[in-house]
Amino acid sequence: MRDMVPNHIFQLISLMAMEPPVSFDADVVRDEQAKILKAIPPMTPEEVLSRTVRGQYGEGSAGETKLLPYRSELDVSPTSKTETYVALKLFVDNWRWADVPFYIRTGKHMPKRVTEISIQFKRAPFLLFRQTSVEKLTPNRLVLMLQPDEGISLSFGAKIPGPLVRMGNVKMDFHYKDYFGPRPAPATNVCCTIACSATRPCFSDLTWWRPPGAWSRPFRTFGKRCLRANSKLRGRHLGTRRGRRDAGARQALLE
């Protein structure tokens, strides 16, 4: 919560959700990003229970190599409450993104290391297909692959050739390396080059980190808020309809 979410995930959310800037000037881009951060409403303690999941990785293995649980790692306290996995459901309360959920998942020691943004479009109305053999329509999805294999993937439904109306899923993939060759320099070299440039559009400044409201300090207080919400509300709602509903909502964040 103090590293990946504020330093990386929120950068991706603001870049993806912001309105097109009038130029690539660093201040102009950051202003558009800041508008998105300011539009993210803070969570109440009740919403923390149903819209967040925090956890630590346990004992496991990678092939024949045995992996220690997080609390058994070197220099880690056996009572540490530092999360190694976070799943969040956020909203951006503006005209364009009202009622559109943003799902965030990040963690360490995952089965594979990948960074991507998946944009799921609304399903098409089913009315046109009621008198056909089509049972359901899957939503179209645009995936922006950031690491390690940069590219774009678009999956959508298409009619299967033939006299009957049947739908099949189609995927169109684009990979940068297939068209432009391998990356000419490591990402750290590119980052240092941009940092030394005059505009630095990819970097934030102090004003970018000052959205109003409770999200002005989310990256220092959110973990404490989760713990307070768990201690105050989890016992109160455990076994109740609301508790089961919150548990179901948290499970949905992991799927």
The radius of gyration of the chain from alpha carbons, rounded to an integer in Å, stands at 22
Buried b or exposed e, range 209-242, using 16+ CB within 10 angstroms:
eebeeebeebbeebbebbeebeeebeeebeeeee
Catalytic residues: 8
Contact between 143 and 119 under an 8 Å Cβ cutoff? The reply is yes
- 135 Ramachandran zone, left/alpha/beta (phi>0; psi -120 to 50): alpha
Q: Find the Cα–Cα–Cα–Cα dihedral 254, 5, 22, 193, rounded to 10°.
A: -120
Q: Find the Cα–Cα–Cα–Cα dihedral 184, 149, 30, 105, rounded to 10°.
A: -150
Cα(41)–Cα(43) distance, rounded to whole angstroms?
7
What are 41-44's contacts with CB under 8 Å, separation 24+? 41/91, 41/93, 41/213, 41/215, 42/213, 42/214, 42/215, 42/218, 43/225
DSSP assigned state of 6: I
